Amino acid sequence: MTTPPESPAPGARARPVLLTVDDDPGVSRAVARDLRRHYGERFRVVRASSGEEALDALRELKLRGDRVAAVLADYRMPGMDGIEFLEQAMDLFPRARRALLTAYADTDAAIQAINVVDVDHYLLKPWEPPEEKLYPVVDAMVETWAASPDVAVEDVKLVGHHWSAPSFAARDFLARNAVPYHWYSVEEPEGRRLLAAAGAAPEDVPLVVPPGGDALLAPTEAELAAAVGLTVEPSTDFFDLVVVGGGPAGLGAAVYGASEGLRTVLVERQATGGQAGQSSRIENYLGFPDGVSGGQLADRARRQAAKFGAEVLTARKVTALEARGPARVVHFADGGSIAAHAVVLATGVSYRTLPAAGADSFTGRGVYYGSALTEAEACADQDVFVVGGANSAGQSAVFFSRHARCVTLLVRGPSLEASMSHYLIQQLADLPNVVVRTGTTVTAVRGGDHLEEIDLAGPDGGVHTAKTSHLFVFIGAEPRTDWLDGVLDRDDHGFVLTGPELLVDGERPPGWRLQRDPYFLESGLPGVFVAGDVRAQSVKRVASAVGEGAMAVTLVHRYLEER
């Protein structure tokens, strides 16, 4: 019977483990008793009655990120003897010290074990008195281990392949949601040990191991969110206000809605912050003269919303909106739904996909949409390319210039002046390893297991090939509002119409039953407001999006007062 490894309190650093394995219950209890008596304050003592049970315990400890200082195994055990067990234990915890418990007749086997599996010591049974025969040996083992111990990892552990699109998606999801994690490549020894502990193969990645130790293989975003402690389920099925989208506009609406007493829930498909959350540095946002990263801004806003009582649901995709009497109902892709008195749509926009041959097959394997800041280390001393001419592309080029050997900014238009802020244009001009190429588009991408080269069409019509493993894309923006077909009026590009734009020759939109015109940010469905980039004719800036989120809440109050 295995003594279950104790689970430390959240945030507490677990004591390292002394593991003892013996199939004789009396011997097992005796060695565990003696070890606890002398080492119990500094170590946890875990005992097992067979090699298989002990390996199961070691796998659990490995997945939880715990440390094993020493292993004491009986030589004669059925099924798997002590030498066989120690060989496999070394694969999981190579730094743990090892001792073999033997009878006098098995001394030759113990000496063989020292040569075969690098056993540190052997102990003859019985070891009475322990002060003379047991403790000095274990003391030496513990001292040797302490000189270079295993490091306890209390964050989420993520095992994957650098050029695996699902592995990148998991890393990006955790990073954008500000979840601390430790990355292990399948090519690293520790990555292989974690895969072995979980009973997984390299092709099964990503492997995600939360601090609790329950491994997930290739989880969905919803499964990953739940496993790492993000909120995915609402506390109730009815709210005063549902905010759809967690970009600057949605976060602004959640902060102001909750702070003004509305029962507020924010629903985000992937990670709060939206496109702004992927910006490496925003330098023209009011109140941050030294600049602020999009991730920092989003994290502060998320914590601020939570402080006022707003719920934030992550990894929930909204697929439909309907009016059900006075209620406004939001439906999720998994079949669930929540209702509210009012809704603020702040779903923002998404980058358009690169219209180049082969681009789709390399998404997450060299072609990235947005900054993909987790790739910064991999760009060291590399030639990288950024596609786009607006602020997000410029900010990304500045960021990667600190890591890459050369950053080439590819701009379809004739100049940057029409689409990029002046301060960014000046910054790019001052960076010696940034090259701006105007009138240039990417026509094709190629490679093996990852991106290796791209074809570039220049202003003279010529095409040439460039070697690169990283291409970051920031081209245009799409609102992706198809799920609102037949519910809300949109313009030809899919942006939602609000307020005065809904009036045709002074006439209110069809089906409008209120004795007033739609409010400025109100859609054609009363009680549904629109803020930020998804709104037609909005100003595509972070500050204006936050302002619209706050303004939408003011209009929500007016709407609720009318009822």
* Percent over 90 (pLDDT), the chain: 73
Listed residue (521, 524, 514) closest to 561, CA to CA: 514
Q: What is the mean pLDDT of residues 400-415?
A: 96
**Spatial separation of the C-alpha atoms in residues 406 and 400, rounded to whole Å:** 9
* Beta-ladder partners of 436: 409
Answer for the pair 337, 330: CB distance below 8 angstroms, yes or no: yes
Q: Provide the 10 A C-beta neighbour count for residue 320.
A: 14
Q: What is the pLDDT of residues 9-44, one digit of tens each?
A: 444 457 999 999 999 999 999 999 999 999 999 999
- Highest mean pLDDT, choosing among 69-83, 291-305, 325-339: 325-339
Strand 17-21 to strand 44-48: parallel, antiparallel, or no bridges (unpaired)?
parallel
**Spatial separation of the C-alpha atoms in residues 458 and 464, rounded to whole Å:** 8
Strand order in the sheet with 441-447: 441-447, 451-457, 463-467
DSSP, residue by residue, 28-54? HHHHHHHHHHHHTTT-EEEEESSHHHH
Strand 68-74 to strand 17-21: parallel, antiparallel, or no bridges (unpaired)?
parallel
Q: What is the pLDDT of residues 108-141, one digit of tens each?
A: 766 666 666 678 888 888 888 999 989 999 999 9
Q: Which residue has the tokens 């949601």?
A: 177
pLDDT at 340: 98
Q: Please, what is the average pLDDT of the chain?
A: 91
CA 484, 488, 493, 498 torsion: positive or negative? negative
Strand 207-209 to strand 156-160: parallel, antiparallel, or no bridges (unpaired)?
antiparallel
pLDDT: is 404 or 79 the higher one?
404
pLDDT at 265: 98
CA 532, 535, 539, 541 torsion: positive or negative? positive
Distances (CA, A) of 515 to 503, 508, 518, 553: 14, 10, 10, 21
pLDDT classification of 170: cutoffs 50, 70, 90: very high
Q: Which domains are assigned to the chain? A: 17-147 (3.40.50.2300), 156-227 (3.40.30.10), 238-350+478-562 (3.50.50.60), 360-473 (3.50.50.60)
Listed residue (276, 272, 266, 274) closest to 345, CA to CA: 266
DSSP, residue by residue, 230-257? ---S-S-SEEEEEEE--SHHHHHHHHHH
pLDDT at 12: 42
Distances (CA, A) of 530 to 137, 337, 489, 493, 545: 71, 20, 12, 16, 10
15-43 in b/e form (b: 16+ CB < 10 A) is bbbbbbbbbeeebbebbbebbeebbeeeb
pLDDT at 42: 94
pLDDT at 10: 43
Listed residue (367, 351, 353) closest to 163, CA to CA: 367
Residue 151 has pLDDT above 60, yes or no: yes
pLDDT: is 178 or 46 the higher one?
46
Q: Which residues contact 114 (CB under 8 A, 6 or more apart)?
A: 122
Answer for the pair 519, 558: CB distance below 8 angstroms, yes or no: yes
Residue 7 has pLDDT above 60, yes or no: no
